[in-house]
Chain A
Amino acid sequence: MSAGAPAPAAGLGHALDLSSTQPIPFARLVRVELRKSYDTRAGFWLLLSIGLLVLAAEVIALAVTTVQDEAMQFGDFVGTAAFLTSFLLPVLGIMVLTSEWSQRTAMVTFALDPRRPLVIAAKALVGVILTLATVAVSIAIGAVCNLLYGAIEGHTDWTFGFPDFVAFTITQVLAMLGGFALAALFLNTAAAIVVYFVYKWVLPGLFAVGAGLIGWFSDLRPWIDFQVAQEAIWDWSGSGRDWAQLVISGFVWLGVPLVWGIWRVLRAEVK
Protein backbone atom coordinates (compact mmCIF):
# COMPACT_ATOMS: atom_id res chain seq x y z
CA MET A 1 0.00 0.00 0.00
CA SER A 2 0.98 3.60 -0.01
CA ALA A 3 3.73 4.88 2.19
CA GLY A 4 1.27 7.27 3.80
CA ALA A 5 -1.00 4.56 5.11
CA PRO A 6 -0.35 3.70 8.75
CA ALA A 7 0.24 0.05 9.47
CA PRO A 8 -2.99 -1.48 10.76
CA ALA A 9 -2.93 -2.06 14.50
CA ALA A 10 -1.83 -5.46 15.66
CA GLY A 11 -4.67 -7.77 16.56
CA LEU A 12 -7.12 -5.95 14.34
CA GLY A 13 -7.82 -9.29 12.71
CA HIS A 14 -6.68 -9.53 9.12
CA ALA A 15 -8.07 -13.03 8.89
CA LEU A 16 -11.75 -13.79 9.26
CA ASP A 17 -12.44 -16.13 12.13
CA LEU A 18 -14.92 -18.61 10.68
CA SER A 19 -14.73 -21.14 13.51
CA SER A 20 -17.99 -20.05 15.16
CA THR A 21 -19.99 -19.70 11.94
CA GLN A 22 -22.17 -22.60 10.90
CA PRO A 23 -23.15 -23.07 7.26
CA ILE A 24 -26.77 -22.18 6.53
CA PRO A 25 -28.88 -25.29 7.29
CA PHE A 26 -30.74 -26.70 4.28
CA ALA A 27 -34.08 -26.56 6.13
CA ARG A 28 -33.63 -22.81 6.56
CA LEU A 29 -32.94 -22.37 2.84
CA VAL A 30 -36.15 -24.28 2.09
CA ARG A 31 -38.16 -22.10 4.51
CA VAL A 32 -36.79 -18.91 2.93
CA GLU A 33 -37.47 -20.18 -0.60
CA LEU A 34 -41.00 -21.16 0.42
CA ARG A 35 -41.58 -17.66 1.74
CA LYS A 36 -40.30 -16.20 -1.54
CA SER A 37 -42.93 -18.22 -3.43
CA TYR A 38 -45.84 -16.34 -1.86
CA ASP A 39 -44.48 -12.98 -0.67
CA THR A 40 -44.93 -11.27 -4.06
CA ARG A 41 -48.20 -10.50 -5.79
CA ALA A 42 -47.39 -12.72 -8.76
CA GLY A 43 -46.54 -15.68 -6.55
CA PHE A 44 -49.45 -15.12 -4.19
CA TRP A 45 -52.01 -14.91 -6.99
CA LEU A 46 -50.61 -17.93 -8.79
CA LEU A 47 -50.99 -20.02 -5.63
CA LEU A 48 -54.41 -18.59 -4.87
CA SER A 49 -55.64 -19.14 -8.42
CA ILE A 50 -54.49 -22.77 -8.31
CA GLY A 51 -56.60 -23.18 -5.17
CA LEU A 52 -59.59 -21.35 -6.64
CA LEU A 53 -59.44 -23.32 -9.90
CA VAL A 54 -59.41 -26.58 -7.99
CA LEU A 55 -62.42 -25.37 -6.01
CA ALA A 56 -64.26 -24.15 -9.13
CA ALA A 57 -63.57 -27.36 -11.09
CA GLU A 58 -64.83 -29.65 -8.37
CA VAL A 59 -67.89 -27.50 -7.60
CA ILE A 60 -68.81 -27.37 -11.30
CA ALA A 61 -68.38 -31.14 -11.53
CA LEU A 62 -70.65 -31.47 -8.51
CA ALA A 63 -73.28 -29.14 -9.97
CA VAL A 64 -73.32 -30.78 -13.40
CA THR A 65 -73.43 -34.37 -12.14
CA THR A 66 -76.15 -33.74 -9.57
CA VAL A 67 -78.32 -31.84 -12.06
CA GLN A 68 -77.95 -34.63 -14.63
CA ASP A 69 -78.06 -37.45 -12.07
CA GLU A 70 -74.77 -38.88 -13.25
CA ALA A 71 -72.87 -41.38 -11.17
CA MET A 72 -69.81 -39.83 -9.56
CA GLN A 73 -66.99 -41.25 -7.49
CA PHE A 74 -64.68 -39.55 -5.07
CA GLY A 75 -61.82 -40.16 -7.51
CA ASP A 76 -63.71 -38.39 -10.31
CA PHE A 77 -63.80 -35.16 -8.35
CA VAL A 78 -60.10 -35.30 -7.65
CA GLY A 79 -59.39 -36.26 -11.27
CA THR A 80 -61.20 -33.15 -12.52
CA ALA A 81 -58.98 -30.98 -10.35
CA ALA A 82 -55.88 -32.89 -11.42
CA PHE A 83 -56.60 -32.14 -15.07
CA LEU A 84 -56.51 -28.38 -14.35
CA THR A 85 -53.62 -28.34 -11.91
CA SER A 86 -51.47 -30.22 -14.41
CA PHE A 87 -51.42 -26.94 -16.39
CA LEU A 88 -50.70 -24.65 -13.47
CA LEU A 89 -48.18 -26.67 -11.51
CA PRO A 90 -45.56 -26.52 -14.30
CA VAL A 91 -46.01 -22.75 -14.32
CA LEU A 92 -45.42 -22.82 -10.58
CA GLY A 93 -42.29 -24.93 -11.08
CA ILE A 94 -41.10 -22.44 -13.68
CA MET A 95 -41.74 -19.34 -11.60
CA VAL A 96 -40.10 -20.72 -8.48
CA LEU A 97 -36.83 -20.61 -10.42
CA THR A 98 -37.09 -17.96 -13.13
CA SER A 99 -38.34 -15.11 -10.92
CA GLU A 100 -34.83 -14.97 -9.47
CA TRP A 101 -33.51 -14.20 -12.95
CA SER A 102 -36.20 -11.89 -14.25
CA GLN A 103 -35.96 -9.82 -11.07
CA ARG A 104 -32.17 -10.26 -10.81
CA THR A 105 -32.44 -11.38 -7.20
CA ALA A 106 -30.20 -14.35 -7.99
CA MET A 107 -27.30 -11.96 -7.33
CA VAL A 108 -28.45 -11.45 -3.75
CA THR A 109 -29.46 -15.07 -3.24
CA PHE A 110 -26.15 -16.50 -4.42
CA ALA A 111 -24.15 -13.85 -2.54
CA LEU A 112 -25.90 -14.92 0.68
CA ASP A 113 -25.29 -18.58 -0.08
CA PRO A 114 -22.79 -19.40 -2.82
CA ARG A 115 -23.62 -23.13 -2.60
CA ARG A 116 -25.75 -22.91 -5.71
CA PRO A 117 -26.68 -26.63 -5.94
CA LEU A 118 -28.22 -26.43 -2.46
CA VAL A 119 -30.16 -23.27 -3.31
CA ILE A 120 -31.55 -24.91 -6.46
CA ALA A 121 -32.38 -28.09 -4.55
CA ALA A 122 -34.23 -25.96 -1.98
CA LYS A 123 -36.24 -24.36 -4.78
CA ALA A 124 -37.09 -27.75 -6.31
CA LEU A 125 -38.19 -28.98 -2.89
CA VAL A 126 -40.41 -25.91 -2.50
CA GLY A 127 -42.02 -26.83 -5.84
CA VAL A 128 -42.65 -30.36 -4.50
CA ILE A 129 -44.05 -29.03 -1.21
CA LEU A 130 -46.45 -26.71 -3.03
CA THR A 131 -47.47 -29.55 -5.37
CA LEU A 132 -48.22 -31.79 -2.40
CA ALA A 133 -50.22 -28.95 -0.85
CA THR A 134 -52.20 -28.68 -4.10
CA VAL A 135 -52.84 -32.43 -4.01
CA ALA A 136 -54.03 -32.18 -0.41
CA VAL A 137 -56.34 -29.26 -1.26
CA SER A 138 -57.74 -31.16 -4.29
CA ILE A 139 -58.47 -34.19 -2.13
CA ALA A 140 -60.00 -32.15 0.71
CA ILE A 141 -62.28 -30.22 -1.65
CA GLY A 142 -63.06 -33.48 -3.47
CA ALA A 143 -64.11 -35.08 -0.18
CA VAL A 144 -66.42 -32.17 0.65
CA CYS A 145 -67.92 -32.30 -2.87
CA ASN A 146 -68.41 -36.04 -2.58
CA LEU A 147 -70.22 -35.56 0.76
CA LEU A 148 -72.47 -32.93 -0.82
CA TYR A 149 -73.05 -35.27 -3.76
CA GLY A 150 -74.10 -37.95 -1.30
CA ALA A 151 -76.42 -35.55 0.51
CA ILE A 152 -78.08 -34.53 -2.76
CA GLU A 153 -78.13 -37.85 -4.59
CA GLY A 154 -78.60 -40.10 -1.60
CA HIS A 155 -75.60 -42.36 -2.37
CA THR A 156 -71.84 -41.89 -2.22
CA ASP A 157 -69.01 -43.80 -3.81
CA TRP A 158 -65.67 -43.30 -2.09
CA THR A 159 -63.71 -45.19 -4.72
CA PHE A 160 -60.29 -43.61 -4.88
CA GLY A 161 -57.79 -46.29 -4.28
CA PHE A 162 -54.36 -45.95 -2.85
CA PRO A 163 -52.73 -46.68 -6.25
CA ASP A 164 -54.75 -43.83 -7.76
CA PHE A 165 -53.72 -41.50 -4.97
CA VAL A 166 -50.06 -42.39 -5.43
CA ALA A 167 -50.30 -42.08 -9.22
CA PHE A 168 -52.06 -38.74 -8.90
CA THR A 169 -49.40 -37.41 -6.56
CA ILE A 170 -46.49 -38.68 -8.65
CA THR A 171 -47.80 -37.37 -11.97
CA GLN A 172 -48.50 -33.95 -10.44
CA VAL A 173 -44.96 -33.79 -9.05
CA LEU A 174 -43.58 -34.86 -12.44
CA ALA A 175 -45.61 -32.13 -14.17
CA MET A 176 -44.20 -29.52 -11.80
CA LEU A 177 -40.65 -30.84 -12.23
CA GLY A 178 -41.11 -30.73 -16.02
CA GLY A 179 -41.65 -26.99 -15.73
CA PHE A 180 -38.78 -26.65 -13.28
CA ALA A 181 -36.39 -28.48 -15.61
CA LEU A 182 -37.27 -26.25 -18.56
CA ALA A 183 -36.96 -23.20 -16.30
CA ALA A 184 -33.43 -24.27 -15.36
CA LEU A 185 -32.64 -24.69 -19.04
CA PHE A 186 -34.02 -21.34 -20.26
CA LEU A 187 -33.91 -19.20 -17.09
CA ASN A 188 -36.73 -17.19 -18.64
CA THR A 189 -40.38 -17.43 -17.62
CA ALA A 190 -41.96 -16.84 -21.02
CA ALA A 191 -39.64 -19.17 -22.95
CA ALA A 192 -40.02 -21.95 -20.41
CA ILE A 193 -43.84 -21.69 -20.40
CA VAL A 194 -44.05 -21.66 -24.20
CA VAL A 195 -41.75 -24.65 -24.57
CA TYR A 196 -43.61 -26.50 -21.84
CA PHE A 197 -46.94 -26.09 -23.61
CA VAL A 198 -45.41 -27.08 -26.94
CA TYR A 199 -44.15 -30.19 -25.19
CA LYS A 200 -47.54 -30.75 -23.57
CA TRP A 201 -49.82 -30.03 -26.57
CA VAL A 202 -47.97 -29.96 -29.87
CA LEU A 203 -45.51 -32.77 -29.35
CA PRO A 204 -48.03 -35.61 -28.73
CA GLY A 205 -49.65 -34.72 -32.10
CA LEU A 206 -46.30 -34.72 -33.87
CA PHE A 207 -45.39 -38.00 -32.20
CA ALA A 208 -48.65 -39.54 -33.38
CA VAL A 209 -48.15 -38.31 -36.94
CA GLY A 210 -44.52 -39.44 -36.93
CA ALA A 211 -45.42 -42.84 -35.59
CA GLY A 212 -48.15 -43.19 -38.24
CA LEU A 213 -45.89 -42.25 -41.15
CA ILE A 214 -42.50 -43.58 -40.22
CA GLY A 215 -42.21 -47.22 -39.29
CA TRP A 216 -39.12 -47.10 -37.12
CA PHE A 217 -40.43 -44.03 -35.27
CA SER A 218 -43.47 -45.91 -33.99
CA ASP A 219 -41.05 -48.33 -32.33
CA LEU A 220 -39.01 -45.48 -30.90
CA ARG A 221 -41.93 -43.37 -29.73
CA PRO A 222 -42.79 -45.20 -26.48
CA TRP A 223 -39.20 -44.65 -25.36
CA ILE A 224 -39.27 -40.88 -25.83
CA ASP A 225 -42.93 -39.98 -25.21
CA PHE A 226 -42.88 -39.15 -21.50
CA GLN A 227 -46.57 -38.28 -21.34
CA VAL A 228 -47.72 -41.61 -22.73
CA ALA A 229 -45.15 -43.42 -20.61
CA GLN A 230 -46.65 -41.88 -17.46
CA GLU A 231 -49.74 -44.01 -17.99
CA ALA A 232 -47.74 -46.85 -16.51
CA ILE A 233 -48.02 -44.98 -13.19
CA TRP A 234 -51.83 -44.88 -13.42
CA ASP A 235 -52.17 -48.43 -14.68
CA TRP A 236 -49.82 -49.58 -11.94
CA SER A 237 -48.46 -51.68 -14.75
CA GLY A 238 -46.52 -54.79 -13.90
CA SER A 239 -44.58 -54.71 -17.16
CA GLY A 240 -40.89 -54.01 -16.75
CA ARG A 241 -40.89 -52.67 -20.28
CA ASP A 242 -43.43 -49.97 -19.37
CA TRP A 243 -41.35 -48.85 -16.40
CA ALA A 244 -38.19 -48.86 -18.50
CA GLN A 245 -39.95 -46.62 -21.04
CA LEU A 246 -41.02 -44.29 -18.22
CA VAL A 247 -37.46 -44.04 -16.94
CA ILE A 248 -35.91 -43.53 -20.39
CA SER A 249 -38.45 -40.95 -21.59
CA GLY A 250 -38.31 -39.25 -18.18
CA PHE A 251 -34.56 -39.03 -18.54
CA VAL A 252 -35.03 -37.34 -21.93
CA TRP A 253 -37.63 -34.79 -20.78
CA LEU A 254 -36.69 -34.27 -17.15
CA GLY A 255 -33.15 -35.50 -16.62
CA VAL A 256 -31.42 -33.92 -19.59
CA PRO A 257 -32.92 -30.40 -19.29
CA LEU A 258 -32.49 -30.45 -15.52
CA VAL A 259 -28.87 -31.55 -15.55
CA TRP A 260 -27.97 -29.29 -18.46
CA GLY A 261 -29.84 -26.35 -16.91
CA ILE A 262 -28.30 -26.81 -13.47
CA TRP A 263 -24.86 -27.20 -15.00
CA ARG A 264 -25.48 -23.84 -16.68
CA VAL A 265 -26.69 -22.18 -13.49
CA LEU A 266 -23.66 -23.44 -11.58
CA ARG A 267 -21.25 -22.03 -14.13
CA ALA A 268 -23.19 -18.92 -15.06
CA GLU A 269 -22.10 -15.46 -14.23
CA VAL A 270 -25.00 -14.16 -12.18
CA LYS A 271 -25.96 -10.68 -13.33
Chain B
Amino acid sequence: MITVEGLTRKYGSFTAVDDVSFVCQPGRVTGFLGPNGAGKTTTMRVMVGLTPPTAGRVTIGGHLYNDIPNPGRHVGVLLDASAQHAGRTGREILELGARTMGLPSTRIDEMLELVSLTPAESKRRLRNYSLGMKQRLGIAHALLGDPSVLILDEPANGLDPAGIRWMRGLLKGYAERGGTVLLSSHLLNEVELIADEMILIGHGRIVAQGDKKTLLAGATHTAATLVTALDNEALAAALSARGLTVAPAGEGLRVDAEPVEVGRTAAENSIVLVDLRAAEGALEDLFLELTSDTQREEVA
Protein backbone atom coordinates (compact mmCIF):
# COMPACT_ATOMS: atom_id res chain seq x y z
CA MET B 1 0.00 0.00 0.00
CA ILE B 2 1.29 3.43 -0.94
CA THR B 3 0.10 6.40 1.10
CA VAL B 4 0.77 9.92 -0.13
CA GLU B 5 -0.02 12.58 2.48
CA GLY B 6 -0.11 16.29 1.70
CA LEU B 7 2.84 16.02 -0.66
CA THR B 8 4.21 19.31 -1.95
CA ARG B 9 7.35 19.90 -3.97
CA LYS B 10 8.43 23.39 -4.97
CA TYR B 11 11.22 24.48 -7.29
CA GLY B 12 11.78 28.10 -6.42
CA SER B 13 8.47 29.80 -7.05
CA PHE B 14 7.20 26.93 -9.21
CA THR B 15 5.08 24.34 -7.45
CA ALA B 16 5.47 21.00 -9.25
CA VAL B 17 3.35 19.03 -6.81
CA ASP B 18 0.76 20.87 -4.74
CA ASP B 19 -0.66 19.22 -1.60
CA VAL B 20 -1.28 15.83 -3.19
CA SER B 21 -2.82 13.00 -1.14
CA PHE B 22 -3.96 9.59 -2.29
CA VAL B 23 -3.72 5.93 -1.45
CA CYS B 24 -2.87 2.97 -3.67
CA GLN B 25 -4.52 -0.17 -2.35
CA PRO B 26 -3.06 -3.66 -2.53
CA GLY B 27 -4.77 -5.91 -5.03
CA ARG B 28 -5.47 -3.07 -7.43
CA VAL B 29 -3.74 -1.37 -10.32
CA THR B 30 -3.82 2.39 -9.76
CA GLY B 31 -3.34 4.58 -12.79
CA PHE B 32 -1.74 7.99 -12.33
CA LEU B 33 -2.93 10.07 -15.21
CA GLY B 34 -2.13 13.59 -16.27
CA PRO B 35 -0.76 15.70 -19.09
CA ASN B 36 3.00 16.22 -19.49
CA GLY B 37 4.46 18.26 -16.67
CA ALA B 38 1.50 17.68 -14.35
CA GLY B 39 3.71 16.39 -11.52
CA LYS B 40 3.41 12.62 -11.97
CA THR B 41 7.12 11.91 -12.22
CA THR B 42 8.03 14.27 -9.38
CA THR B 43 5.50 12.52 -7.13
CA MET B 44 6.92 9.11 -8.01
CA ARG B 45 10.49 10.31 -7.50
CA VAL B 46 9.60 11.51 -4.00
CA MET B 47 8.05 8.06 -3.32
CA VAL B 48 11.39 6.33 -3.86
CA GLY B 49 13.53 8.89 -2.06
CA LEU B 50 15.23 10.38 -5.11
CA THR B 51 13.64 13.80 -4.62
CA PRO B 52 13.20 15.31 -1.17
CA PRO B 53 9.68 16.68 -0.63
CA THR B 54 9.12 20.31 0.36
CA ALA B 55 6.22 19.24 2.57
CA GLY B 56 4.22 16.10 3.25
CA ARG B 57 5.41 12.52 2.97
CA VAL B 58 4.97 9.22 1.24
CA THR B 59 4.96 5.89 3.02
CA ILE B 60 5.06 2.45 1.44
CA GLY B 61 3.51 -0.21 3.63
CA GLY B 62 3.90 2.20 6.54
CA HIS B 63 7.59 2.98 5.96
CA LEU B 64 9.48 5.81 4.35
CA TYR B 65 11.27 4.40 1.31
CA ASN B 66 14.68 5.37 2.69
CA ASP B 67 13.98 3.34 5.85
CA ILE B 68 13.32 0.11 3.96
CA PRO B 69 16.35 -2.20 4.07
CA ASN B 70 17.28 -3.62 0.65
CA PRO B 71 14.25 -1.81 -0.84
CA GLY B 72 14.45 -3.65 -4.16
CA ARG B 73 13.10 -6.73 -2.35
CA HIS B 74 9.94 -4.85 -1.37
CA VAL B 75 9.35 -2.13 -3.93
CA GLY B 76 9.90 -2.55 -7.66
CA VAL B 77 10.78 0.75 -9.31
CA LEU B 78 10.89 1.77 -12.96
CA LEU B 79 11.22 5.52 -13.37
CA ASP B 80 12.96 5.79 -16.72
CA ALA B 81 13.72 2.76 -18.86
CA SER B 82 16.46 4.71 -20.65
CA ALA B 83 18.30 5.58 -17.43
CA GLN B 84 20.67 2.64 -17.74
CA HIS B 85 24.21 2.52 -19.07
CA ALA B 86 23.91 2.34 -22.87
CA GLY B 87 27.03 0.18 -23.05
CA ARG B 88 25.75 -2.61 -20.80
CA THR B 89 23.87 -5.59 -22.12
CA GLY B 90 20.32 -6.16 -20.91
CA ARG B 91 21.48 -9.23 -19.06
CA GLU B 92 24.32 -7.35 -17.35
CA ILE B 93 21.89 -4.67 -16.15
CA LEU B 94 19.75 -7.38 -14.50
CA GLU B 95 22.91 -9.06 -13.19
CA LEU B 96 23.94 -5.87 -11.35
CA GLY B 97 20.44 -5.50 -9.89
CA ALA B 98 20.29 -9.15 -8.81
CA ARG B 99 23.72 -8.98 -7.19
CA THR B 100 22.89 -5.77 -5.34
CA MET B 101 19.71 -7.33 -3.97
CA GLY B 102 21.46 -10.63 -3.22
CA LEU B 103 19.46 -12.79 -5.63
CA PRO B 104 20.60 -15.94 -7.45
CA SER B 105 21.32 -15.46 -11.15
CA THR B 106 18.56 -17.97 -12.02
CA ARG B 107 16.22 -15.09 -11.17
CA ILE B 108 17.60 -13.19 -14.19
CA ASP B 109 16.60 -15.95 -16.61
CA GLU B 110 13.15 -16.14 -15.05
CA MET B 111 12.63 -12.40 -15.44
CA LEU B 112 13.93 -12.35 -19.02
CA GLU B 113 11.47 -15.09 -19.88
CA LEU B 114 8.64 -13.29 -18.08
CA VAL B 115 9.12 -10.15 -20.18
CA SER B 116 9.73 -12.15 -23.39
CA LEU B 117 13.28 -11.00 -24.05
CA THR B 118 15.15 -13.79 -25.85
CA PRO B 119 18.64 -14.88 -24.73
CA ALA B 120 20.04 -13.32 -27.92
CA GLU B 121 18.29 -10.00 -27.20
CA SER B 122 19.51 -10.02 -23.61
CA LYS B 123 23.11 -10.12 -24.86
CA ARG B 124 22.68 -6.95 -26.91
CA ARG B 125 23.81 -3.63 -25.52
CA LEU B 126 21.10 -1.26 -24.32
CA ARG B 127 21.90 1.35 -26.98
CA ASN B 128 20.66 -1.18 -29.56
CA TYR B 129 17.33 -1.67 -27.79
CA SER B 130 14.06 -0.21 -29.02
CA LEU B 131 12.05 1.78 -26.48
CA GLY B 132 9.65 -1.16 -26.16
CA MET B 133 12.53 -3.53 -25.35
CA LYS B 134 13.90 -1.06 -22.80
CA GLN B 135 10.50 -0.95 -21.14
CA ARG B 136 10.37 -4.76 -20.97
CA LEU B 137 13.85 -4.81 -19.47
CA GLY B 138 12.84 -2.10 -16.99
CA ILE B 139 9.81 -4.16 -15.91
CA ALA B 140 12.07 -7.19 -15.51
CA HIS B 141 14.41 -5.09 -13.36
CA ALA B 142 11.52 -3.82 -11.23
CA LEU B 143 10.21 -7.37 -10.67
CA LEU B 144 13.63 -8.93 -9.92
CA GLY B 145 13.36 -8.74 -6.16
CA ASP B 146 9.81 -10.16 -6.11
CA PRO B 147 8.44 -6.95 -4.56
CA SER B 148 4.93 -6.49 -3.21
CA VAL B 149 4.68 -2.91 -4.49
CA LEU B 150 5.38 -1.71 -8.03
CA ILE B 151 5.99 1.92 -8.99
CA LEU B 152 6.18 2.38 -12.76
CA ASP B 153 6.53 5.70 -14.58
CA GLU B 154 5.14 5.59 -18.13
CA PRO B 155 5.78 1.85 -18.48
CA ALA B 156 3.55 1.44 -21.54
CA ASN B 157 5.32 4.25 -23.42
CA GLY B 158 6.85 2.74 -26.56
CA LEU B 159 5.06 -0.58 -26.29
CA ASP B 160 3.09 -1.79 -29.30
CA PRO B 161 -0.59 -2.75 -28.84
CA ALA B 162 0.37 -6.37 -28.22
CA GLY B 163 2.88 -5.18 -25.67
CA ILE B 164 0.27 -3.09 -23.88
CA ARG B 165 -2.04 -6.10 -23.75
CA TRP B 166 0.81 -8.17 -22.36
CA MET B 167 1.51 -5.58 -19.69
CA ARG B 168 -2.15 -5.40 -18.74
CA GLY B 169 -2.21 -9.18 -18.20
CA LEU B 170 1.04 -9.06 -16.23
CA LEU B 171 0.01 -6.21 -13.92
CA LYS B 172 -3.55 -7.47 -13.38
CA GLY B 173 -2.19 -10.89 -12.44
CA TYR B 174 0.31 -9.24 -10.12
CA ALA B 175 -2.42 -7.19 -8.44
CA GLU B 176 -4.70 -10.22 -8.12
CA ARG B 177 -1.98 -11.95 -6.13
CA GLY B 178 -2.18 -9.05 -3.67
CA GLY B 179 0.41 -6.70 -5.12
CA THR B 180 0.07 -2.92 -5.18
CA VAL B 181 0.67 -1.29 -8.56
CA LEU B 182 0.99 2.40 -9.34
CA LEU B 183 1.62 3.26 -12.96
CA SER B 184 1.62 6.65 -14.60
CA SER B 185 0.72 7.68 -18.11
CA HIS B 186 -0.23 10.73 -20.08
CA LEU B 187 -2.24 8.52 -22.40
CA LEU B 188 -5.75 7.89 -21.21
CA ASN B 189 -6.26 4.78 -23.34
CA GLU B 190 -3.34 2.98 -21.73
CA VAL B 191 -4.52 3.67 -18.21
CA GLU B 192 -8.11 2.91 -19.08
CA LEU B 193 -7.03 -0.52 -20.32
CA ILE B 194 -4.79 -1.41 -17.41
CA ALA B 195 -5.91 0.40 -14.27
CA ASP B 196 -8.72 -0.45 -11.83
CA GLU B 197 -8.45 2.90 -10.15
CA MET B 198 -7.48 6.26 -11.59
CA ILE B 199 -5.93 9.37 -10.13
CA LEU B 200 -6.11 12.39 -12.42
CA ILE B 201 -3.51 15.07 -11.83
CA GLY B 202 -3.16 18.44 -13.50
CA HIS B 203 -0.97 21.38 -12.57
CA GLY B 204 0.39 19.47 -9.57
CA ARG B 205 -3.06 19.00 -8.07
CA ILE B 206 -5.33 16.00 -8.02
CA VAL B 207 -8.43 16.85 -10.04
CA ALA B 208 -10.34 13.59 -9.70
CA GLN B 209 -9.91 10.04 -8.45
CA GLY B 210 -11.85 6.81 -8.42
CA ASP B 211 -12.61 3.94 -10.74
CA LYS B 212 -13.82 4.53 -14.28
CA LYS B 213 -17.50 4.27 -13.38
CA THR B 214 -17.24 6.67 -10.47
CA LEU B 215 -15.33 9.18 -12.53
CA LEU B 216 -17.88 9.14 -15.32
CA ALA B 217 -20.79 9.28 -12.90
CA GLY B 218 -19.32 12.23 -11.08
CA ALA B 219 -18.76 14.26 -14.19
CA THR B 220 -21.13 17.03 -15.15
CA HIS B 221 -21.00 15.79 -18.61
CA THR B 222 -23.60 14.50 -21.06
CA ALA B 223 -23.05 10.79 -21.34
CA ALA B 224 -23.34 9.12 -24.70
CA THR B 225 -24.07 5.49 -25.48
CA LEU B 226 -23.59 3.37 -28.56
CA VAL B 227 -26.21 0.71 -28.94
CA THR B 228 -27.15 -1.87 -31.53
CA ALA B 229 -30.41 -3.84 -31.35
CA LEU B 230 -31.91 -6.54 -33.52
CA ASP B 231 -34.57 -3.98 -34.33
CA ASN B 232 -32.88 -0.59 -34.34
CA GLU B 233 -35.96 1.25 -35.54
CA ALA B 234 -38.12 -0.02 -32.68
CA LEU B 235 -35.39 0.95 -30.19
CA ALA B 236 -35.00 4.41 -31.73
CA ALA B 237 -38.73 4.95 -31.44
CA ALA B 238 -38.79 3.78 -27.81
CA LEU B 239 -35.86 6.03 -26.88
CA SER B 240 -37.33 9.03 -28.65
CA ALA B 241 -40.56 8.41 -26.78
CA ARG B 242 -38.62 8.90 -23.53
CA GLY B 243 -37.34 12.22 -24.85
CA LEU B 244 -33.79 11.04 -25.58
CA THR B 245 -31.83 12.26 -28.59
CA VAL B 246 -31.07 9.39 -30.94
CA ALA B 247 -28.92 9.42 -34.06
CA PRO B 248 -27.87 6.59 -36.35
CA ALA B 249 -24.22 5.63 -35.92
CA GLY B 250 -22.65 2.87 -37.95
CA GLU B 251 -24.74 -0.27 -37.64
CA GLY B 252 -26.52 0.99 -34.54
CA LEU B 253 -27.53 4.16 -32.74
CA ARG B 254 -25.86 6.87 -30.71
CA VAL B 255 -27.92 8.01 -27.75
CA ASP B 256 -27.26 10.97 -25.48
CA ALA B 257 -27.85 9.03 -22.29
CA GLU B 258 -26.19 6.63 -19.87
CA PRO B 259 -25.97 3.00 -21.08
CA VAL B 260 -28.11 1.94 -18.11
CA GLU B 261 -30.95 4.13 -19.29
CA VAL B 262 -30.76 2.77 -22.82
CA GLY B 263 -30.68 -0.78 -21.49
CA ARG B 264 -33.70 -0.14 -19.28
CA THR B 265 -35.66 1.27 -22.21
CA ALA B 266 -34.77 -1.80 -24.27
CA ALA B 267 -35.77 -4.16 -21.47
CA GLU B 268 -39.07 -2.41 -20.86
CA ASN B 269 -39.88 -2.70 -24.56
CA SER B 270 -38.54 -6.26 -24.87
CA ILE B 271 -36.06 -5.24 -27.54
CA VAL B 272 -33.04 -7.55 -27.92
CA LEU B 273 -29.70 -5.73 -27.76
CA VAL B 274 -26.58 -7.10 -29.43
CA ASP B 275 -24.24 -4.33 -28.32
CA LEU B 276 -24.43 -1.70 -25.60
CA ARG B 277 -21.54 0.48 -24.38
CA ALA B 278 -20.52 3.94 -23.33
CA ALA B 279 -19.48 5.96 -26.35
CA GLU B 280 -15.72 5.99 -26.84
CA GLY B 281 -14.13 9.17 -25.71
CA ALA B 282 -16.45 9.81 -22.80
CA LEU B 283 -13.58 9.40 -20.39
CA GLU B 284 -11.29 11.30 -22.68
CA ASP B 285 -13.67 14.24 -22.73
CA LEU B 286 -13.76 14.12 -18.96
CA PHE B 287 -9.98 13.96 -18.75
CA LEU B 288 -9.53 16.92 -21.06
CA GLU B 289 -12.23 18.85 -19.26
CA LEU B 290 -10.74 18.20 -15.82
CA THR B 291 -7.25 19.13 -16.85
CA SER B 292 -8.22 21.77 -19.40
CA ASP B 293 -6.68 24.72 -17.59
CA THR B 294 -3.43 22.82 -17.41
CA GLN B 295 -3.27 21.67 -21.01
CA ARG B 296 -0.71 23.21 -23.29
CA GLU B 297 -3.09 23.06 -26.22
CA GLU B 298 -6.51 24.60 -26.27
CA VAL B 299 -9.15 21.92 -26.17
CA ALA B 300 -11.40 22.23 -29.19
Contact = CB atoms under 8 A, between A and B. Distances in A.
A and B: bona fide binding partners: yes
A35 B96 CA distance: 8
Interface string A4-41: 11001100111110100111100011011001100111
A35 B26 CA distance: 36
Interface string A52-71: 00000000000000000000
A111 B26 contact: no
A40 B87 contact: yes
Contacts of B61: 13-16
B28 interface: yes
Contacts of B213: 4
Nearest to A105: B85
A13 B178 contact: yes
Most buried by B among A41, A104, A110: A104
Contact of B83 (A23, A31, A42, A104): A104
Contact of A39 (B51, B83, B84, B92): B92
Given A18-B68, A103-B86, A108-B83, A4 B211 contact: yes
B96 A31 contact: no
Interface in B73-87: 73-74, 77, 79-80, 82-87
Interface in B94-139: 95-97, 99-102
A270 B214 CA distance: 37
A210 interface: no
Interface string A233-271: 000000000000000000000000000000000010111
A130 B65 CA distance: 33
B70 A40 contact: no
A45 to B, nearest CB: 11
A151 interface: no
B69 interface: yes
Sort chain A's interface into a size bin: 35 or more
Given A28-B99, A110-B50, A18 B80 contact: no
Contacts of B95: 35
A214 interface: no
B141 interface: yes
Contacts of A3: 210, 214
Contact of B27 (A8, A18, A41): A8
A8 B176 CA distance: 11
Contacts of B62: 14-16
A105 B69 CA distance: 20
A1 B23 CA distance: 7
A21 B148 CA distance: 13
Given A16-B61, A270-B50, A23 B70 contact: yes
Contacts of B68: 16, 18, 21
A107 interface: yes
B45 interface: yes
B148 A13 contact: yes
A12 B24 CA distance: 13
A107 B50 contact: yes
B49 interface: yes
A111 B77 contact: yes
A21 B79 contact: no
Most buried by A among B1, B28, B71, B210: B71
30 contacts: A1-B23, A2-B197, A3-B214, A4-B211, A8-B26, A8-B28, A12-B178, A14-B26, A15-B61, A15-B62, A16-B68, A16-B149, A18-B63, A21-B74, A22-B69, A24-B70, A28-B99, A32-B100, A39-B96, A40-B85, A40-B87, A40-B88, A42-B87, A103-B87, A111-B50, A112-B97, A113-B71, A269-B45, A269-B50, A270-B51
Interface of B: 1, 23, 25-28, 45, 48-52, 60-63, 65-66, 68-74, 77, 79-80, 82-88, 92, 95-97, 99-102, 141, 148-149, 178, 196-197, 209-211, 213-214
